A and B are shown apart, each in its own frame.
Chain A
Amino acid sequence: MQSLRKTQARFLQALLDGHAADPLQADGVDVYRNNYFEGHRKALASTYPVVAQLVGEACFRTLAHDYAHGFPSRAGDLTQFGAEFPFFLRALYGNSEHEYLADVARFEWAYADALNAADATTLELHQLALALDADNLTFTFQPSTRLLRSPFPVLAIWQAHQGDDEDTVDLSAGEDRLIIHRPQMQVEILRLDVAQYAFVQELYQGEPLAHALDHAMSIDAGFDLTACLVLLITRGAFTHCTATEFPLDTDGEPS
């Protein structure tokens, strides 16, 4: 008699290969094999609906099949299945006319991930006003925050596929620098300019306000700090800010 572990290993192999050791069981193996690839295709399509629309049903079916082979599910719930799909697409389509697909996928993964991230309160403008005269102010972003930079207009591509009628998007329409986050129950997207994005990147890495400001000013001398902070706060980007009492040394540790 074969052990349970051996039975399970053989069953998995038969399911993936589509080969039943016993021909009488071939129909049964087909059912499980079909359930497997269909279930994973549906899960991937629900996370990447725009990529699925862009490539079409037949192509997406093939992509999902190959992806499930290369990057199988590692958990009993499927929320993390598909995490490597943007890399899979980049490996497949990098340096081709379909290169943008990987970035659309990166956007969709960030969107799905932000949806399920932890809830948090948002920092209000009056709370900032109380803290603004402190040195070394640092900001904590929403747990759902994902920063995304792409050479393609991914936001416009995504927006063009939200309704029934699809608009055409010019792929050379320019770069996108985005915050994808969920201040309340809906995922929101903030499109930033070059200096604003550089400023946000510094803050997101935990750098103090003065440092982020210097960095943004070095990119664009006309960077408007007040306008940027008001935008971020009114759109609920931060959960809180912290005034560090001691000056920070270069390692970011209190000296």
Chain B
Amino acid sequence: MTPVVHTAIAPAPVPATAGIGLRSAHHRHVLTTRPNTPWFEVHTENFFASGGPQPQFLERVRLDYPLSLHGVGLSLGSTDALDCRHLAHLKRVVDRFQPLFVSEHLSWSSIGGQFINDLLPLPYTEEALIHFSDRVGFVQDFLGRTILIENPSSYLAFEHSTMPEWDFIAALSKRSGCDILLDVNNIYVSASNHGFSAADYIAGIPVERVREFHLAGHSTRVRRDGTTMLIDTHDGRVAEEVWTLFEAAVERFGARPTLIEWDANLPSFDVLEDEARIADHYLRSDHAIAA
């Protein structure tokens, strides 16, 4: 007879259903009501603390749910040296919580030791590709696992870029071996802001590398010239046009774990569950086709 071993935290797969980005305003709700959300994702840096209620909370969540760790602060694209302190924290959190996914952004956030703590855009050049691939490779070696890189939303583009973002990401995954977290709202926002085709973007991303989708709400702002700019504010429901793009993404890449992100003007948890149900509807459509 094989003994049944109960470990406190064993790696659990993230199912190809819609999970929810867990924010501190909902911590108590999740612990007390134990919603049937299939998986959660959190911002890695929020759990860097040595002790106290934050890591204790995540430990309790992790006992019952698969988890994904989404980093916002590693500054992978920066030409400063990687921050060893940040890397050490990251490794400690990854080792402790055994997430299925560890992700970061195609962006930079620091230069000369000063951190902007935002996801700043890169020029898409050969130099940036080599630099970013090397950094991803280093982090993957350090953590001993593959990481996912997410496409950013952006509000300006560099004239000296030599390739479109999707070619850069495809080349990055090939060069570094990283997987891709495709944020469908970000594709929509950047396509609108920079005037490229979202369909071209999706067609240019290698199918086998996409492991996760993100969905979120955006808002609009009027430019000086009267045209409209889209801002990735994560403060509302997913836009109709983004659901349409999501449908196209699911058709090309198949059903993948999909996250509902909502960070500002956070509603009650049931609104997030409602968004997740809509996402699940699109994900199941794919199963129906596949069957």
Contacts and interface: CB of A to CB of B under 8 A. Distances in A.
B224 A27 contact: yes
B74 interface: yes
A74 B115 contact: yes
Nearest to A6: B79
A235 B108 CA distance: 45
A79 B49 contact: yes
A118 B116 contact: no
Interface residues on B, range: 35 or more
Contacts of A22: 159
Contacts, number: 129
B45 A31 contact: no
A74 B56 contact: no
A31 B222 CA distance: 11
Nearest to A9: B111
Contacts of B193: 28
Contact of A31 (B52, B74, B113, B155): B155
B52 A75 contact: no
Interface in B41-70: 45-46, 48-54, 56
Contacts of B120: 8, 11, 32
- Among A2, A32, A77, A79, max chain B CB count under 10 A is at A77
Interface string A19-53: 01010011111011001100110010000000000
B73 interface: yes
Given A11-B120, A28-B155, A35-B118, A74 B113 contact: yes
Contacts of A8: 78-79, 108, 111, 120
A61 interface: no
Interface string A84-116: 000000000000000000000000000000011
Given A8-B78, A27-B155, A27-B224, A78 B131 contact: no
B128 A36 contact: no
A36 B118 contact: yes
Contact of B48 (A40, A72, A77): A77
A28 B156 contact: yes
A254 interface: no
For the complex of A and B, 7 pairs with smallest distance between CB atoms: A76-B73, A28-B156, A119-B51, A116-B49, A77-B45, A28-B155, A118-B50
23 contacts: A1-B160, A3-B127, A4-B127, A5-B111, A7-B160, A8-B111, A8-B120, A11-B120, A31-B155, A32-B116, A32-B155, A36-B117, A43-B117, A72-B115, A73-B116, A73-B117, A75-B73, A76-B75, A77-B89, A119-B56, A144-B52, A185-B53, A186-B53
